[in-house]
Amino acid sequence: MELPTPVKGPLIIKKRIFALVGLLSIALICIGIYTAIRVRDTNVWLTDSAVRTRDLLTAVDTARMAQVHFKMQVQEWKDVLLRGADPDLYETHFTAFRNEEGTVKELMVNLKTLLGAMQVDTRLVDEFVAAHEDLGRRYRHAIEQYDRGDPASGFAVDRMVRGIDRLPTTAIDAIVAYMRGATRTDIDLQQTLTEAKVARDRHFVQGISVLIASAVLLALFFALTIIAGLRSPR
């Protein structure tokens, strides 16, 4: 008695289906991994861009505050000479002068730290700091000549230091102008790069969509081929 011949058709079909499912799964996994990497890179880039813009705006605000406090420092110096005959007013305005001077120095330290972290040239800051230090020394030397009992003393001291605030004033104004221009330029550049990156990512998504659709159609084609082979007469 002859044994029946094993039917290999279903086994072959199962193998083909498993192979098809496996290939499609591998393709989808690879696409998913690559897409995740692209999304991560885009998020990192956007985060870095936002941080840089934030730091630049902070630097502009810091420079502007230093500019304001420097002008207040100079004004307090003038008030010392104008009202210094009164001991209380002298102490009030000279204390305010020192406080404003300290605030300016602190802001300059912060500004230089910010710019250094962003790899922005700090020479303008260094120039202002040097001019500001010299201004403070010359003001303190001049105030030693101030005689509270002499009404004309304030004018004499003022003549000694007249115009010495022009150099630091020009320097701090240059810093503010530079930071505003650099920030505007950087923001425009970041916007251009962002638009380009968004366009590339949009094309990438479109390409991925086409790739997935192609994979599905290919899988459907192979499935139909397998089914057709199953139905064909032996």
Domain residue spans of the chain: 50-194
CATH topology of domain 50-194: Four Helix Bundle (Hemerythrin (Met), subunit A) (1.20.120)
Predicted confidence at residue 171, as pLDDT, reads 95
DSSP character at residue 40: H
Residue 173 burial (C-beta neighbours within 10 Å; 0-12, 13-18, 19+): middle
The dihedral sign for the CA sequence 52, 121, 67, 183? negative
Tokens of 112: 């230089």
Confidence grade of residue 230 (pLDDT, cut at 50, 70, 90): low
The type of residue at 139 is Y
User: First vs last Cα of the chain: how many Å apart?
Assistant: 24
Does residue 151 sit in helix, strand or coil? coil
Residue 33 pLDDT grade (very low, low, confident, very high; cuts 50, 70, 90): confident
Q: What is the pLDDT of residues 86-135, one digit of tens each?
A: 999 999 999 999 999 999 999 999 999 999 998 888 999 999 999 999 99
Over residues 123-182, the pLDDT tens digits come to 999 999 999 999 999 999 999 998 888 888 888 999 999 999 999 999 999 999 998 888
Average pLDDT, the chain: 82
Q: Residue 1: is its pLDDT beyond 60?
A: no
For residue 226, is pLDDT > 70?
no
Express each pLDDT in 60-77 by its tens digit. 999 999 999 999 999 999
3-state SS, residue 85: coil
Q: What are phi and psi of 142, to 5 degrees?
A: -70, -35
Round to whole Å and give the CA distance between 73 and 69.
6
Q: What angle do CA 42, 43, 48 make, to 5 degrees?
A: 100
Q: Mean pLDDT throughout 43-68?
A: 85
Lowest mean pLDDT among 3-12, 14-23, 26-35: 3-12
Contact 115, 73 (CB under 8 A): no
Least confident of 1-5, 18-22, 201-205, 220-224: 1-5
Residue that the structure tokens 């800051």 belong to:
125
CA atoms within 13 A on the CB side of 103: 19
Return the residue matching tokens 């922005």: 120
Q: Is the pLDDT of residue 188 over 80?
A: no
pLDDT of residue 148: 84
CA distance 227 to 233: 12
- Per-residue confidence (pLDDT) for residue 52, from 0 to 100: 80
SS3 111: helix
Q: What is the pLDDT of residue 23?
A: 72
**Quick check: pTM over 0.85?**
no
Kindly tell me if the per-residue pLDDT of 3 is higher than 90.
no
**With contact defined as beta carbons under 8 Å apart, do 107 and 66 qualify?**
yes
3-class secondary structure, 33: helix
